[in-house]
C-alpha cells in the first residue's frame, strides 16, 4: 500500500469521533439582587445550560476545529474548518507518516482525499479520491463514519443532556476562554441515539466489534454557550480531543470537480477484476 493510501486510511478513520449572554449586572436600585453570571449558571443550571448550548451551536454557521488523539492504534492530528449548514461540510488537514500534509474534504457523508502529485499517475492525473462512507466501510471492513460524527459538538452536548449522571467538574480556561467543564460516562446506546440514522448501524457494528460498551465524554462550554473542547474515550477504539474556535468565521468548502475526482469504489472494483482475470 502506498504512503498516501496509508495516510488516507488513518485520516478517514480518524474523521469518521459546537445565546450570547453577559455576566449579570445590577440595574435600578442598588438593593436589586445581583444576577448570576453565565459561568455560575453553567455550573448550577446544568440541564438548562446544556440546552442553551445546543440552541446556540445550532445557530452557528461555521467553526474552526483542531483534533488530536488516537484511532485504530494510530496517532491522529488534524485541523481545519467546518461549515455547519445542511449538509455539514469540513476541510481538514492531517500530517501523514512522512510528515507531508494531506487535505480531506467532507461533504455530507462523502470524503474527498487529496492525492499527492507523485501518486496521481495511477488515477489518471486526478487530484482527489472520492470515498462514500457507507461504501468504503462495507468494502474495507472499517467504520469511516465514526469520527466524522465525533467532530460535531452538538452531538456531544445532546449526549450529555440524554445521560443521567452528568456532573460539573468546575471552571477551567481553554485556549484563553473561561469555561465550565462537564463530564459523564454514557452507555453506547445513549450515544448512538445522537448519531445520524444513516450512519448509526455502521457505528454500532464497530462498537460491538471493538467491545466498546460505554464512552467517557468531557465537554467545556464558554460564556457564550459555545463548546470550546470535547474529549472522548472509546475503549480500545481510541480517544479524541477536539478544540473549537472562531465560531461564525466565513468559510468556503466546495465539492471537488468531477473531472478531477477518482472514485475509490470504482478503483476497488477494477482491482478485483484484475485479480480474477
Distances (CA, A) of 76 to 9, 81, 230: 11, 16, 15
Q: Mean pLDDT lowest for which of 56-65, 72-81, 191-200?
A: 191-200
SS3 assignment for 238-260 = EEEEEEEECCCCCCCCCCCCHHH
pLDDT score of 251: 94
In this prediction the pTM is 0.77
Residue-wise pLDDT for 218-247, tens only, equals: 999 999 999 999 999 988 888 999 999 999
Q: Can you tell me the mean pLDDT for 45-65?
A: 91
Domain spans in the chain, listed from the N-terminal domain onward: 3-18+45-266
Burial status of residue 153 (CB atoms within 10 A of its CB: 0-12, 13-18, 19 or more): buried
pLDDT at 64: 95
Model confidence over 120-132: pLDDT tens digits?
A: 988 889 999 998 8
3-18+45-266 topology per CATH? outer membrane lipoprotein receptor (LolB), chain A (2.50.20)
Amino acid at each position: 500500500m502506498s504512503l498516501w493510501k496509508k495516510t488516507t486510511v488513518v485520516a478517514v478513520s480518524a474523521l469518521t469521533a459546537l445565546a450570547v449572554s453577559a455576566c449579570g449586572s445590577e440595574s435600578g436600585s442598588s438593593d436589586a439582587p445581583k444576577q448570576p453570571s453565565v459561568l455560575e449558571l453553567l455550573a448550577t443550571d446544568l440541564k438548562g445550560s446544556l440546552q442553551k448550548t445546543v440552541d446556540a451551536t445550532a445557530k452557528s454557521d461555521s467553526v474552526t476545529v483542531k483534533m488530536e488523539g488516537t484511532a485504530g492504534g494510530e496517532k491522529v492530528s488534524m485541523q481545519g474548518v467546518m461549515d455547519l449548514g445542511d449538509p455539514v461540510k469540513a476541510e481538514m488537514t492531517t500530517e501523514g507518516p512522512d510528515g507531508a500534509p494531506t487535505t480531506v474534504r467532507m461533504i455530507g457523508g462523502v470524503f474527498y482525499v487529496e492525492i499527492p502529485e507523485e501518486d496521481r499517475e495511477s488515477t489518471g492525473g486526478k487530484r482527489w479520491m472520492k470515498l462514500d462512507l457507507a461504501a468504503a466501510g462495507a468494502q474495507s471492513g472499517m467504520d469511516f463514519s465514526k469520527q466524522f460524527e465525533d467532530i460535531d459538538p452538538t452531538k456531544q452536548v445532546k449526549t450529555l443532556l440524554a445521560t443521567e449522571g452528568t456532573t460539573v467538574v468546575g471552571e477551567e480556561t481553554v485556549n484563553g476562554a473561561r469555561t465550565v467543564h462537564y463530564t459523564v460516562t454514557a452507555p453506547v446506546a445513549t450515544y448512538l441515539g445522537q448519531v445520524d440514522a444513516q450512519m448509526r448501524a455502521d457505528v454500532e457494528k464497530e462498537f460491538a466489534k471493538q467491545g466498546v460498551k460505554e464512552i467517557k465524554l468531557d465537554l467545556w462550554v464558554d460564556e457564550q454557550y459555545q463548546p470550546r473542547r470535547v474529549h472522548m474515550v472509546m475503549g480500545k477504539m481510541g480517544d479524541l480531543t477536539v478544540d473549537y474556535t472562531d465560531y461564525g468565521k466565513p468559510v468556503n468548502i466546495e465539492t471537488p470537480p468531477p473531472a478531477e475526482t477518482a472514485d475509490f469504489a470504482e478503483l476497488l472494483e477494477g482491482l478485483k477484476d484484475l485479480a480474477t482475470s
